[in-house]
Amino acid sequence: MGAAYFYHLTRAPLEAVLPMLLEKSVAAGWRVLVRGTDDNRLKWLDERLWQGRPDSFLAHGLAGGKNDAMQPIILTTADTAANNPTCILAVDGADVTAEDVAQMERVSILFDGNDEAALTRARTQWKSLTDAGCSAQYWSQESGSWEKKAER
- Predicted local confidence at residue 1, as pLDDT: 67
Please give the model's pTM, rounded to 2 decimal places: 0.95
Within 10 angstroms of residue 32's Cβ, the number of other Cβ atoms is 27
- Predicted local confidence at residue 55, as pLDDT: 75
Torsions phi, psi of 126, nearest 5? -55, -50
- Predicted local confidence at residue 2, as pLDDT: 85
Given strand 147-151, what is the order of strands in its sheet?
A: 61-62, 73-76, 32-35, 87-90, 106-112, 3-9, 135-140, 147-151
Q: If the chain, 152 residues long, is cut into consecutive pieces of 10 residues, what is the mean pLDDT of each piece?
A: 92 93 96 97 95 82 94 96 96 97 97 95 97 97 90 94
Domains assigned to the chain:
3-151 (3.40.50.10110)
Bridge-based pairing of strands 147-151 and 135-140 is antiparallel
Closest among 111, 100, 101 to 152, alpha carbons compared: 101
